[in-house]
Structure 1
Amino acid sequence: MNFMNEATPNYDQNKISDGFQNLRAVSLAGCQLTGQVPLWLSKLTKLEVLLLSGNQITGSIPGWFGNLPSLFYFALSQNNISGEFPKELSRLQPLVIEQNKFNRNKPDLPFFLFPNQNSTSHQYNRIFGLRPTIFLANNSLSGRIPAETGQLKFLNVLDLGNNNFAGSIPNQISQLTILERLDLSKNHLSG
């Protein structure tokens, strides 16, 4: 809840490795940031938690998110994002491979998480305390929910509510056997 109504920060792609290579969590939530998802995030290979909810980000969700080897908590809800659910998100390694294979140490300082603008904050003293999550609710995403979402076997929360998804719910979602929360409400699903 800083940088109110500014454009998403852009950095020189070649200099990201100079200062941000060890970032494990980025929170720019609730800032009303404008623009698109910044490309420099694709260079953060140690990124585990990304919070961009509660902004005015436009454009589509870049497929390169699926190439981030440690990303397991992904929140882009409450934006103006359009396009389809990228199939590449189904390659997020911490959501496909068992979690205990990933080393999550305590960050130096506690951090706070606002799941959405209407909720109270939650304090976490270690990143591992977060449940593997994809929050994409309250956008303008459309198309079908891809069958590839069934590959995210270690996903605990999938929130795609209040979008424009159409078609039927893919049977493969039933393969998400540790899913604790599924929200597909306020879409155009059938069947």
Structure 2
Amino acid sequence: MNTNEEIRVLRAAQSDPQAFTPLYAANHALIFRFIHRRTNQRELSADLTQQVFLKALLALPGYEPRGLPLRAWLYRIALNELRMYWRKKKEVVMDLSWAEVRELRAEVGLEEQEEDMLRLTLALSRLPVAKARLIELRYFDGASFAEIGQVMGIAEDAAKMRVHRILRSMRQYLGSRA
């Protein structure tokens, strides 16, 4: 769905909740994967995904796109749902696969070997949660810096700068462990 079509459907959905269905269909799998990667529990991910869309639907009358795709707003709602869950459970999970981290591997100079996957997982696990979220959004979810900024509540330039600083520190960490 292109941006103009998405805005048209959003406007219709603000007065008719049934019109939200195509937006739900277009974004459900994306938000589910975003949540599942962080919980690694299918049922929990499904429940949290439903909460995200329920909250989005309830807040839709006051939503303004601000030039970003709807998924940026949905990511932010999903991240808030995950934060509430983690506050209760005190656990953070990250499920990685080589296919998802191809670009990140290239950025930090790793090859597709089991040992490098372990090193990358260790480097990511050592990051504070907020920094790990930035890397996950950029490299695992394919979010733009503008979307990351919206999700994390920071400017686009700040998101770009933070990601590059995190990558630099990961390169240094991984280089010292070679």
- TM class, shorter-chain normalised? under 0.3
Based on CA coordinates, which of the two structures has the bigger radius of gyration? 2
Q: Point out which structure has higher relative CO (alpha carbons under 8 A, 6+ apart).
A: 2
- The alignment's TM-score, normalised by the length of structure 1, stands at 0.26
- The alignment's TM-score, normalised by the length of structure 2, stands at 0.28
Higher helix share: 2
